[in-house]
Structure 1
Amino acid sequence: MAIVFHKEQNYFSLTTNQTEYQIKIDRYGHVLHSHYGNIVNQDMSYLFSYEDRGFSGSPAVAGTDRTYSLDVLPQEYPVFGMGDYREGALELENADGSYGVEFVYKEHKILDEKYSLQGLPASYRNNNEKVSTLEITLMDDITQIEVKLLYGVFEEKDIITRATKVVNLGKEKINLLKVDSVSLDKNLEKELDVIHFHGRHNMERQYERTAIGNSMFSIGSHRGSSSHQHNPFMILCDKETTEAYGESYGVMLMYSGNFLGTVEKTQFNQVRSTMGIGRQGFRYPLEKGEEFIAPEVILSFSNDGLTKLSQNYHTFIKNNVVRGEYKYKRRPILINNWEATYFDFDEEKLLDIARESSEVGIELLVMDDGWFGKRNDDNTGLGDWFVNLEKIPGGLKNLTTKVNQMGMKFGIWFEPEMVSEDSDLYRKHPEWSINIPNRTGVRSRNQFVLDLSRADVRDYLVEQISAILDSGNIEYLKWDMNRSLSNVYSESLKPSEQGKFYHLYVLGVYEILERLTSAYPYILFEGCSGGGGRFDAGMLYYTPQIWTSDNTDAIDRLRIQHGTSFGYPINTNGSHVSAVPNHQTGRITPLATRGMVAMTGTFGYELDITSLSKEEKEAIKKQISHFKENYDTIHEGEYYRLSNPWENEVFTAWQIVSKKRDKILLNIIRTRQYANDPIFTVKLKGLVESSHYRLIGTDKVFTGASLMNGGWEVPRAKEEYQGFEFEFEVVE
């Protein structure tokens, strides 16, 4: 069994194919964390340290035993205010204003199914795979507050999920000030690093690896979304861990709003990492009988380096997070008109793009921003979801019919969460926007954020979007969000409830998406927030792909997609070929290089195809044909990072091995060229040493051992930023 309660020794073991997670109930009923890592089949609580530690007090239950302190013991769900001075996972204010609460074990359940979370995205059992749930209930007898710790064990995926529920069974209201989904304690046998993914708009998920010192490290967002600045995912690993060797732990929050992740190295060389909803602006009142549900965290452990950890997440997200018709179905190759026209387009221009696109094999035309209301720039019209008949005189039914007659699908852009000051909706319902009374709000793109904590706003959006989707044959929807939340206040909440808003806003986003994706299961939804400002597992539950970045420059994308790959699979990454000089950087890169980078994603185009030469269109035809031929390998295969663009300025290389392990794609982009170049090689991964691999297009055959140990020479470039792709197939 994946979950076993060892009654005599009073501990739980949660076991997957290659990992084990242990939870110990000690003699006083405290629930402690005793192990996460390789399978050990042994109660690891023998490593707990019991000594008299100065300034580390003992709980009342321990009496005069000065060797027992919660400030030293590894805890499964630590709380603030009761003698553990490290970062707590839970902080709450009791009705009397105190912060004290002490949880002890009450009961547990083991279920042969995966738990779900009301109102929140959560991973799920896929087909008949082995998944089980452990629910441990903790109780504070004085306040009658209950905490339920939820664990989902995916045996075949080496994934353990965690979530938390807080239930107020007492007689009076309490205030939740911090509710993390997970806390992990680890004794420090080796020096550890933390890998995280910082950034900014147009340069998201930039890889950074930092040594953990005696300090508090944190990442997070209080922008109302998971943000461009930090991704809700971090990795703890040994200092010597590489892509192919060493221990690593992944902690990924399945949530799209404010978050906080911390890593703390303590005075006794212990490391505690936490992840959950951000505490800034969070003060959640919980009335008698009410329950608060914290979002899910996806944990994974690898003893075989960072590549294996990433592959664990890739497999899990593709199979147990992403839902809907396009979970496995091939996604259409699209062209988006944004960088081709921006706001300056009409129906005829769109039809010209569709006509040219259909001739080269593109399958979907996406009409981006500017089709609605009086939207001729980014200062007006948001919220007025009716067609601009000056641009689209025949309406959407007529336009979609014409596009469909060319053999193309049709898609559309929305920014549902926003409202422009200059809009009919804002003039009619100013109270529907987020703003503090008697204050002028912070302006960003001259748009405000709609109050999605309100049911009437959510109903309005579903009604308006549904009317548009019903007005023509629309098969793709891009969901954008182009500003952060500020001046947070809801007229529908009491003053004492304003601290609920950030979380209620995210729940509102999820509700709208659930209603729409359920009503229109055939539509491919793509998430976006100024590109990658809300790229997280929570959104992937509703939108199987996310626009990776508004930066379409192929060379910048190497770093963006490199960082993204640590947690998220290729087929969730919206990636397009754009024009040169690139609109964000001015860089000029070969069309082949742009195609190669975009194919490491959902693949599409973001340019004015009507202005391309005959030769460029022929090259696009070949790119599309190549992508279709290799779609299954690219989207279902195993992804390997062969270089780190933060450390290697000469080239960036990656490799994909097909699911059947019979085909290999090796991609190399030259990012720096020298006169009289040195010789560089790259070693392939994931091959079978004794198998033979033929370089497609030649009669040259290589053993797996030679390619993995000797490697492959990086070609010299004949032009700047030249890309090279090599295809190998297994031969008998």
Structure 2
Amino acid sequence: MITTINERVYALSTKTTTYLFEVLPSGHLEHLYYGPLLPQVTSDEALAFAQKRACECGNTIIYSDDDPDVMLENTPLEMSAEGKGDIREPFIEVIHENGSRTSDFLFQKAEILAKKDPYDTLPGSYGLAGNNHLVITLKDQQADLRLELHYYVYEDEDVICRSSRLINDSDETVTLNRLMSTQLDLTNNDYVMTSFTGSWSNEMNRHDTSLLAGKHEISSFTGTSSSRANPFVMISEKNTSEDYGSCYGMNLIYSGNHYEMAEVNAYGQTHFLSGINPRGFQWVLEPHETFEAPEAVMTYSHEGWSVLSLHMHAFIREHIVRGEWKHKPRPVLLNSWEAYYFQFNEHKLLSLAKKAKQVGIELFVLDDGWFGHRDDDTSSLGDWFVNSKKLPHGLKYFGEKIHELGMDFGLWIEPEMVNVKSTLYQEHPDWTLAIPHTPHSEGRHQRLLDLTRKDVVDHLEKVMSDLFSSAPIDYIKWDMNRIISDAFSPSLEASRQGEVFHRYVLGLYDLMHRLTVKFPHILFEGCAAGGNRFDLGILCFFPQIWASDNTDPICRAQIQENYSYGYPLSVFSAHVSASPNHQTLRQTSLKTRFDVATFAILGYELNLNDLSKNALEEVKQQITWYKQYRTILQEGHFYRTMQKQNDRQEYSWTCVAQDQSCAIGFTLQTLVHPHQPFHTYKARGLDPMKCYSFQNVSHKEDIRRFGDLINSQIPIHIKPDSLTQKVASQFVKLEGEKDYYASLSGASLMYGGICLKTSYTGTGYNENVRLYQDFDSRLYLMKAL
């Protein structure tokens, strides 16, 4: 809800939060408040929040003789500009034709609109209810420029979005060096900024940085949103936890170079900006043209990170993800990549597909290597015709065979890329981002097609449309395996090369929009060397994203947990792969691999033909169980409970049905500590007044886990790692422990928790002892009575 007080104060309220700013007599916008809901905002409250100014502060700059008490350097603002004394990082940076960098944007008007204006070039949130779109127009009188600040209020999800547009009403050309999407000025410091950084196969490492003085920047300069720094960040008061404390969550609906910056000034105030990374960006704005910044997302919680995450999850599910797959259960898939890599043929694939059907797989995905002359990654990108040596009957025939087995058919593509060894490159070498007559630095033997060019986007639309129509394709994995180097478009003049990164993203969005509208039934999954382009911009077109090429469950537990701070489980996928893992060579049980992948969109990526009969049966049981509780895991409320008991760090999660009728619990231990037998699982998000049954999901234990200890309990001697031990393990399985309670209140499960069966500590084992060793996990089922 948006309300106006005295035509000078604007209050934006959601179910639990209020955002407040006012128009100063000078025409600047002073930020007053963003925090817990204020039941009624009055003029007195706005006056109480406003900074009190009476005289000049030291050697700060006085804005004007008419406003002697306005010093922009220490005023919390809705947007900052250069030249009038505000020396903080600017919201906008414009160079005028005469070389001046001073901007002076002052309030002109405010409008409350019934619905969000459509966007011509950039994706954004949708589904805004009522009169919840506020537009503030500021005008630079000297330069004849207009700056629009857009606010979108999503009441039910406790989210406020912001974006900005610069309109050049003058007859002069100006150069835009930056235009941010949002600014948040807080009147104190001592916050902690949480960011998530990493690299290929090592995405989403959490870092907490104290904001005490100076600047802290999180940004991408890869041409993508980047695995190096995800655009989602949090700013929290010290001592904030999952359940307690004030915190802000910020994200950006953008897939290119982004920028999040927190700056503490000399007065102890915190200044936050988010938007397109100004590094390498420069936009020539001609007379009467408009530049639009991406939309930024903000939420606030005074009840810790769990509630903040729930806000973000609900917002993304309802107002970012769209189309036929918005709330459809996502199918369990098998991807061919780690089974065969490039070394496959039709017979191998169909043999794998038959096994997939037997265990309950719903979607068979043919990954890289099916097209052109693609036997490795040095050739054929851009040549999207079928490799007849591998698929002699063609793609249509193969897809129909998959359908005959009762599964959907999916395909891997990488449309933005081209190999020099390809027909497309030989015909159109000028279609790539590259500096003419200059050596090009490549990644994975490939170059980027120049999506700043409409003819290239038109070509890709036609080629992909022909491909998608040529076979019964139900799913597309859209990959992008390198970052941008030598960022130069021969189609743009020299003065516009600073536009390349952004124009590439605009071309990408145009292409994705065309194809998703034309093929609404296809389930598209975004991928960029794993999580190199995991952002809300992609999710506006593709309802899910491959979170990381790393399928090691221990690595994945951290990656998935950290994604969950800003993204719901329904938008990232996880696969059960082989052991030893192909990325880390770590050995883990099939159970642990499944348990971790359960808290995402479940898939498999291993050679089912190589599995034993017992392992295949275990996979079949896993998939059957997952399908039963898939709706809860993909659409439920997700909670983290980081538990540290007796110096032992563990993962602990709970996913709760939206009606609180059922919940799935999870624990994972990384490394065992000796003689630490006790562990408590505490649920989250249950109805405290309801009663629930509680039990762990049953499993069996392999006798080989005991090594030669087994010889102390049997009359014959079995040599470890021998054929005899292997054969015995196929016939003799130990029942895992059983934790079961017929009726416990939600309150007791959340506040007291379950003291689980004692863990093995080297002094004995029976049916009441848990084998909870290195890399072990458990699933728990709670059902309301």
TM-score bracket for this pair, using the shorter chain length: over 0.9
> How far apart in 2 are the matches of 1:60 and 1:677?
68
Structure 1 window deviating more from structure 2 (499-508 vs 117-126): it is: 117-126
Aligned position for 1:460: 459
Letter in 2 for 1:48: Q
Aligned position for 2:316: 317
Q: Deviations over 1:59-78 (max 9, x none)?
A: 13535x2x320111111011
> How far apart in 2 are the matches of 1:680 and 1:642?
13
Letter in 1 for 2:100: S
Aligned position for 1:155: 155
Deviation, 1:649, is: 5.1
Q: Deviations over 1:612-634 (max 9, x none)?
A: 11111111111111111101111
Q: Deviations over 1:222-279 (max 9, x none)?
A: 1100001000011111102110111111110010000110001111110011000011
Say which of 36, 39, 53 aligns to 1:38.
36
Q: Deviations over 1:396-420 (max 9, x none)?
A: 1111111111111110001111111
The answer to whether the aligner puts 1:601 opposite 2:600 as a matched pair is: yes
Letter in 1 for 2:64: A
Is the CA contact (8 Å cut-off) linking 2:680 and 2:755 kept in structure 1? yes
Aligned position for 2:176: 176
Is the CA contact (8 Å cut-off) linking 1:78 and 1:89 kept in structure 2? yes
Aligned position for 2:272: 273
Aligned position for 1:723: 777
1:16-415 equivalences in 2 (<5 Å): 16-40=14-38, 41-42=41-42, 43-46=45-48, 47-50=50-53, 51-60=55-64, 62=66, 65=68, 67-125=69-127, 129-130=129-130, 132-188=132-188, 191-415=190-414
Distance 1:560 1:578, change over 3 A: same
> How far apart in 1 are the matches of 2:47 and 2:533?
39
Deviation, 1:333, is: 0.8
Larger radius of gyration: 2
> How far apart in 1 are the matches of 2:747 and 2:402?
51
1:704-719 equivalences in 2 (<5 Å): 704-713=746-755, 716=759, 718=771, 719=773
Aligned position for 1:487: 486
Letter in 2 for 1:706: S
Letter in 2 for 1:18: T
Deviation, 1:104, is: 0.4
> How far apart in 1 are the matches of 2:693 and 2:459?
58
> How far apart in 2 are the matches of 1:448 and 1:607?
29
Letter in 1 for 2:177: L
Is the CA contact (8 Å cut-off) linking 1:650 and 1:673 kept in structure 2? no
Deviation, 1:678, is: 4.6
Distance 1:6 1:552, change over 3 A: same
> How far apart in 2 are the matches of 1:647 and 1:102?
58
Structure 1 window deviating more from structure 2 (659-668 vs 107-116): it is: 107-116
The answer to whether the aligner puts 1:612 opposite 2:666 as a matched pair is: no
Letter in 2 for 1:315: A
Aligned partner of residue 44 in structure 1, secondary structure: helix
> How far apart in 2 are the matches of 1:393 and 1:322?
38
TM-score by length of 1: 0.97
Aligned partner of residue 137 in structure 1, secondary structure: strand
Is the CA contact (8 Å cut-off) linking 2:382 and 2:415 kept in structure 1? yes
> How far apart in 2 are the matches of 1:427 and 1:35?
59
Distance 1:76 1:61, change over 3 A: farther
Distance 1:648 1:302, change over 3 A: farther
Aligned partner of residue 630 in structure 1, secondary structure: helix
Is the CA contact (8 Å cut-off) linking 1:177 and 1:282 kept in structure 2? yes
Deviation, 1:32, is: 1.6
1:635-714 equivalences in 2 (<5 Å): 635-643=634-642, 650-696=649-695, 698-713=740-755
Deviation, 1:644, is: 6.7
Is the CA contact (8 Å cut-off) linking 2:113 and 2:131 kept in structure 1? no
Distance 1:497 1:603, change over 3 A: same
Aligned partner of residue 575 in structure 1, secondary structure: strand
> How far apart in 1 are the matches of 2:318 and 2:207?
28
Aligned partner of residue 132 in structure 2, secondary structure: strand
Distance 1:36 1:321, change over 3 A: same
Aligned position for 2:708: none
Deviation, 1:648, is: 7.4
> How far apart in 2 are the matches of 1:141 and 1:101?
9
Distance 1:454 1:154, change over 3 A: same
> How far apart in 1 are the matches of 2:125 and 2:140?
29
> How far apart in 2 are the matches of 1:701 and 1:315?
30
Q: Deviations over 1:542-594 (max 9, x none)?
A: 11000000000000001101110000000101111001000000111111111
> How far apart in 1 are the matches of 2:497 and 2:294?
20
Q: Deviations over 1:370-412 (max 9, x none)?
A: 1111111111111111111111111111111111111111100
> How far apart in 1 are the matches of 2:484 and 2:282?
17
Deviation, 1:696, is: 4.4
Distance 1:343 1:622, change over 3 A: same
Structure 2 unaligned regions, length at least 5: 697-739, 760-769
Identity %: 38
TM-score by length of 2: 0.90
Aligned position for 2:10: 12
Aligned partner of residue 200 in structure 1, secondary structure: coil
Deviation, 1:438, is: 2.3
> How far apart in 1 are the matches of 2:756 and 2:169?
65
Structure 1 unaligned regions, length at least 5: none
